[in-house]
């Protein structure tokens, strides 16, 4: 199997579309290095090759060792001796974390967390505050601080969170300014960035296409948790 086929296989194993992968890879890159879906498609077809920083970011996004996708020779192309040494150092750091081991190579620390069946909205708002939840088996890829999960609906929290993605949170009734929270506003569940300023309290989307939602004094508002992953 060629490296570009392994790259496409790793994305599909994570359940991501090319657009979702292009959006989510941004969390590992400076804005000047962001890529579009057409670039990712070109990589997966083998027509062009990602640069080192993109290859490492893709490995992080897909929870894998970059060498398993690209191979030693491919990863080292264009690097001098110091660069190859740095690449080897980065590989060792990945291998030290159970999160990036290939399945079956290490034992996983498994635990079970509740995932609420009703989604929290990353868009228009849906009911969050119910008791219907299923127990889901999770491993070290889920932060140890997580106490429950909620699946998102909508795209207002992209590129960090995609439609349908499970976000993990710790239970909390209060949150700091700037933290991403799961909250209930007038019987509607939201996943939003909390903002306090001189104009009041707002629920802010990461997608600039959505306007902040003001929280009025007359509203019924409470925080259910702070997102940790």
Neighbours of 194 (CB within 10 A): 20
Catalytic residue among 121, 158, 192, 205: 192
Cα 133 to Cα 136: distance, rounded to the nearest angstrom: 9
Q: Is 156 a catalytic residue?
A: yes
CA neighbor of 60 nearest in space, from 141, 156, 4, 173: 141
Q: Is 192 a catalytic residue?
A: yes
Catalytic residue among 121, 156, 158, 205: 156
- Joined tokens for residue 62: 């897909």
- Our separate counts of H helices and E strands in the chain read 6, 9
**Residues acting as catalytic residues:** 156, 192
């Amino acid at each position: 199997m060629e490296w570009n086929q392994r790259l496409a296989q790793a994305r599909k194993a994570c359940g991501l579309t090319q657009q979702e992968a292009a959006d989510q890879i941004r969390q590992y890159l400076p804005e000047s290095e962001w890529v579009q879906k057409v670039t990712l498609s070109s990589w997966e077809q083998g027509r062009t090759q990602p640069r080192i920083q993109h290859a490492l970011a893709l490995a992080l996004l897909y929870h894998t060792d970059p060498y398993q996708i690209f191979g030693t020779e491919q990863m080292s192309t264009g690097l001098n001796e110091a660069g190859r040494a740095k690449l080897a150092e980065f590989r060792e750091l990945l291998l030290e974390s159970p999160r990036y081991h290939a399945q079956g190579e290490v034992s996983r620390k498994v635990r079970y967390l509740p995932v609420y069946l009703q989604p929290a909205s990353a868009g228009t708002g849906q009911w969050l505050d119910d008791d219907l939840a299923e127990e889901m088996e999770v491993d070290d890829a889920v932060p140890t601080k997580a106490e429950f999960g909620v699946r998102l609906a909508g795209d207002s929290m992209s590129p960090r969170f995609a439609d349908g993605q499970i976000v993990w949170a710790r239970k909390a009734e209060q949150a700091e300014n700037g933290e991403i929270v799961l909250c209930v506003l007038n019987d509607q569940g939201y996943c939003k960035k909390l903002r306090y300023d001189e104009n009041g309290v707002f629920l802010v989307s990461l997608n600039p296409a959505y306007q902040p939602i003001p929280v009025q004094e007359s509203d019924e508002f409470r925080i259910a948790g702070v997102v940790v992953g």
